[in-house]
Chain A
């Protein structure tokens, strides 16, 4: 149920302790009538739930404020079509004299309401009323103004974090009204915080994402609706601005290069070709490897390009030119698919005699879902990967737990994760790479925070979970050797700002910022299927 909870503020006995709203928002599939209310006999469109809730709240307010009128309602009012809850509430509201300012009305100018708000939501933010005091303090003490500002900034920063968490908690509980007023407070607080860097910058993005979640109601699919071309551009700048993707490429390439040793026919399947940035280096290394070059096939998967261009083919052609210039036999195949789960193994045309490398840079998490029991595309995809019998599967994923069941947990994790990532981005000074990289990260944040269901694709899980999942799917880990570690360390030390650290984690490598790992690279190969030789149903053989 998505009714607003005013128990604490009004002290009334409406007693709608609807803490069952651990499910923050209804699923996007229900485009029309809200199922739960329908069960109670009310017809409310899912898209209007928020408005209805707000109006109910106002009604309660009004009832509480003028109990005398209320009793009149009970006797004289004509109620039209109570199953149409929205207009029924409206009709009731119109009977009352509306207060000129309403604390729950989010459209109004937030500033004059702040004092009102802070009185109303006593439990929400006890420090709120002091915001005004700090302003006065600033104006008074000009001498040590700088330190005061800094202290205030720091305070504001910490306050922002608290408010963000509180807001997220409200969202999780379904207290959207409180959430929206917190948003306003936070936006106000943002003006007193440096938004160019630090907590102010990342807080701004999280505030936006929370807003997006609240106001878009369902799905929020349009939040992450960048075009294919936009996404490619942002990706490329993210690649340039910070070392995460480069680290992913070097490490995966090193593992693939080593796995291909001794093989004359090799096939790389790239789950997200983009501009093929990963491959020139591998092509050259294979072409010049001490034992002589293999025959190299590359299958690149990517979204279909709009406006008739065949970007996969273009990339393939450029890679082929490069391959030709270094004298390595090279074949390219592009597979256009909007989603990875739409790809079928036969499209990849894998030859049983060739050594196959499956390369997934931040793609597998998109196949996950919310509930542990349902069958999500990850199972299917992992299973057909296994059927390809790859010599190696390189997996690089964000090292974060952004797929937890509870929204607040996800939110908290994301806040810390992306703060760290933004911190690391401060070291980059090149524009426009930095600005566009920030937008790239911001889109991830928006997806993690404000999307749900199939629209929420950034379902990052940490290495430990992937280990379990991949082992269960029949893969065994391959240790990334010391070469990979040394290369990553050296290259990062030479060319990245201080603060990045490469660490080894049981055969996997992570790249992080100041001891917080942010991205993890691992390698796997398929376990030979023992049951294929001894069918499970033939029990007679075992006895």
Chain B
């Protein structure tokens, strides 16, 4: 309810957030949008998160259009309303603010280091390098990864029943943290424990959190020992390979293997846990097609690495492929679109963290530092440097189908296992079954999806 000292007439001009009525035709300064929100939203109940998102969007627009004055103003506001020790919305906004500053610092004539030194928040992220035990307990704190582990393991167990050799290719962001449980399950469930081969791609996520303080060789020997303690023979192999080229060297290795072992009853399991979204897709095609709609899923004439990778997987004739990833679309080439998508997804980890980590705890800092890194990557970087190229479940499903896979439904056992696991965590977590797929939810919003596939 606004009151004016003089009763206002209805403004003769439409004041939207992007128009400024010029006062006089003689004025030659260019029109500048005042920081405002579209009045169509009116006086409705504005979530603070909504306002913050709007401000971030305004800021991104200002940066993209090189409007230093407007950027400065919005950054000033954001700096004041997003304290690093505030509530989850404020910390989320703070992380985006940080990313926008990094982005602004990259363009223009400023000195990045000086900006960092003067910034209110420390712009360089302090990463924690985890030990195996730390990482294991860290990923157990929340269903974020446990969900995918549980669902995937259930699908894998079902698929490899009866095989005497199980070859698991683990493409996972969490450095084989899924494997101990899987080995346990294999040891407990299967008659005549099989020979288990484990292949991982080495040197993949050296720069992407979470960081491990072991080499993969060291990790491998730990896993071998663990398997031995469960009476499982584990062969461990690291193949240096990178998402940047669609894991070509790994695929090559596997192809050779396939030729050799295909007849001997070896089950090939491809376990993808939040790794595939790093493989470049269509919006990062080498020959940019200016007419291509970044949202349409039409493979361009030059196929993206992502498409090629899935095709190559199909060529290996795997027994089962499990694809677990985060359900969000961060592939847009348009900064503002990406920002909106990211903001409307990454509020979730900030919201959940209160339920499992106390404020001020070191683990909470690590957790939020990882999210910060992700936000910075999405917002401040472009091209090859921008590696967090999440696609929603629908897109991945489409891709897999195009690559001649068909979906495998998760059985009742799998569902109840996941539910049991979720009961160990806060009440906000939930489970959705969408056709063949399982989706982890937080307060009803999609968080992580799990899908299982076999060759058509």
Contacts and interface: CB of A to CB of B under 8 A. Distances in A.
Interface of A: 229, 232-233, 236-237, 239-240, 246, 250, 253-254, 257, 275, 280-281, 284-285, 287-290, 311, 313-314, 316-318, 320-327, 329-334, 432-433, 483, 486-487, 489-491, 493-498
A288 B11 contact: no
Interface stretch (B48-56, B128-136, B287-295): B48-56
Contact of B73 (A281, A288, A333, A334): A281
Given A325-B37, A325-B39, A487-B120, 17 more contacts: A232-B23, A280-B35, A284-B77, A317-B8, A318-B15, A322-B15, A325-B36, A325-B38, A326-B36, A326-B51, A331-B3, A332-B4, A493-B110, A494-B115, A495-B71, A495-B108, A496-B110
Contacts of A321: 11, 15, 36, 39
B109 A229 contact: no
Most buried by B among A287, A316, A329, A487: A487
Contact of A495 (B5, B21, B34, B72): B72
A290 B86 CA distance: 8
B11 A494 contact: no
Which residue, B86, B108, B111, B119, has most C-beta atoms of chain A within 10 A? B119
A493 B2 contact: no
Nearest to A497: B109
Interface in B114-146: 114-115, 118-120
Given A495-B110, A497-B109, A280 B73 contact: yes
Given A326-B37, A487-B76, A490-B115, A314 B23 contact: yes
A490 B11 CA distance: 37
What 8 pairs across the A-B complex have the smallest Cβ distances? A489-B118, A495-B68, A288-B81, A490-B118, A325-B37, A281-B73, A333-B5, A285-B80
B79 interface: yes
B29 A233 contact: yes
B80 A491 contact: no
Contacts of B6: 313
B46 A327 contact: yes
17 contacts: A229-B24, A246-B72, A280-B35, A281-B35, A285-B80, A316-B4, A316-B5, A317-B4, A320-B8, A324-B2, A325-B41, A326-B37, A326-B46, A327-B43, A332-B5, A495-B108, A495-B110
Contacts of A289: 80-81
A495 B69 CA distance: 8
Contact of B101 (A280, A323, A483, A494): A494
A331 B86 CA distance: 29
B119 A490 contact: yes
B5 A322 contact: no
A46 B72 CA distance: 52
A483 B72 contact: no
Contacts of B77: 281, 284-285, 288
Given A246-B72, A280-B34, A280-B73, A490 B43 contact: no
A287 B37 CA distance: 13
Nearest to A432: B28
Given A330-B2, A333-B5, A322 B34 contact: yes
B361 interface: no
A498 B109 CA distance: 8
B408 to A, nearest CB: 48
Most B-side CB within 10 Å, residue of A290, A325, A331, A334: A325
Contacts of B101: 490, 494
A250 B71 contact: no
B27 interface: yes
Contacts of A287: 51
Contacts of B105: 494
Contacts of A250: 72, 76
Interface string B13-41: 00101001101101111000011111101
Contacts of B48: 288
Contacts of A491: 72, 75-76
B86 to A, nearest CB: 6
A327 B1 CA distance: 9
Contacts of B26: 229, 233
B90 interface: yes
Nearest to A229: B24
Contacts of B108: 494-495
A331 B5 contact: yes
A324 B1 CA distance: 8
